[in-house]
Amino acid sequence: MGLRPELVGRLLETLLKLASSREAVSIGELAENALLSRDQVGEILKVLGIPPRDIRLDEGLRSEIVLRGLELGVDGSLIARYLSWREFERLAARVLEKAGYGSVWNLRIASREGRVQVDVLAYRGDLMLLIDCKRWNKPLTPSAEARIAEEQERRLRILGKLLRETSEAGEDFRVVYLVPAVLSLYRPSKPLLRGHVFSSIGSFGSALGYIERAFFQLRHEKLRLRRGIPLDKLISRLRAEF
C-alpha cells in the first residue's frame, strides 16, 4: 500500500484522540473510527513502529509518532494539535535533535532580572537557538505575535547576559550566536517580525534551514564564550548557579 499522507494523518488523528498511557486501543477500533481497513491500519502502524495490539501512548511516544507523521508529509497542524504543551515542546526538541542539535526543554532559570522560562534551547556548532513554543488552538494574531516577539526579546537579552557571565571568557574564547525563534501550530501572519523568526510546526524544518543560512541577518546575541566548555555543560552550569 502506498502511504498517502492523508491516510497516515487520518489514522494519527484517531490514534492520538483514542489512545493514552492508560487507555489501550485496538486495530479494529482504529479502523472503524478512522474509516480505514484493518490492513491499512496495520501497514501504517508498522511504518510508525507501533506494535499492533493493545496500543497505548505515553507522553514520549505521542511526540514521536507526530514527528514520524511530519516526516511522512502529514500536515503538522492536524496532528500536533492533539499534543499537550509539554508534548509540543518535546516534539520541537526532537525535530531539532533529528537535525543534529543537542537540546534541553522546559528550562527554568532564575536571574537578577527575574525568572526566565525557556521552552527549548538547542545548540550545534556556533549556533544556539532559543525556541518559544506556542501551542495555541488557533492561529496567532498579529497583535499576539508582537507581544510574543517582545517577550522573546527580553528572554534573549537576559539569557545572553547570563551565558556571558557564566562562561567568563578570557583571551581564549569562541563566538556563539544565540538566535530566537517562535514555533506554533499554525502558519504565522508573518515569517519574520523584528528579526524574530516565526514558524508553524509543519514548516519548522525549512525555517531551521533559513536560520542556519541567514542567522547573522536575524536578531541575535553574539556571545564570546570560553573555549573548551561544551554548550551542554554551560547550560547545566546556568541551572546550578542561578
CATH topology of domain 100-241: Trna Endonuclease; Chain: A, domain 1 (3.40.1350)
Identify how many contiguous H helices and E strands the chain contains and give both numbers.
9, 7
Alpha-carbon distances, residue 128 vs 95, 137, 153, 163 (angstroms): 15, 28, 15, 11
**Pairing mode, if any, of strands 114-124 and 102-111?**
antiparallel
Name the residue ranges covered by the structural domains of the chain. 5-83, 100-241
Predicted local confidence at residue 169, as pLDDT: 56
And the C-alpha cell for 97?
Answer: 535533535
Burial of 105 (0-12, 13-18, 19+ CB in 10 A): buried
Q: Which residues of the chain have pLDDT under 70?
A: 1-2, 168-171, 239-242
pLDDT digit string (tens) for 110-157? 777 778 889 999 999 999 999 999 999 899 999 999 999 999 999 999
- In one-letter notation, the amino acid at residue 28 is G
Taking the C-alpha atoms of residue 112 and residue 161, their distance in angstroms, rounded to an integer, is 11
Predicted local confidence at residue 114, as pLDDT: 73
DSSP state of 116: E
Q: Hey, CA dihedral for 9, 13, 15, 16, is it positive or negative?
A: positive
Predicted local confidence at residue 141, as pLDDT: 93
Predicted local confidence at residue 239, as pLDDT: 66
Query: What sections of 72-141 are H helices per DSSP?
Result: 76-79, 85-98
Return the ∠ at Cα 109 (arms to 160 and 60), rounded to 5°. 110
Taking the C-alpha atoms of residue 161 and residue 133, their distance in angstroms, rounded to an integer, is 22
- Residue 178, SS3? strand
**Of 88, 143, 119, 126, nearest to 221 (Cα)?**
126
Residue carrying C-alpha cell 501550530:
185
Predicted local confidence at residue 236, as pLDDT: 80
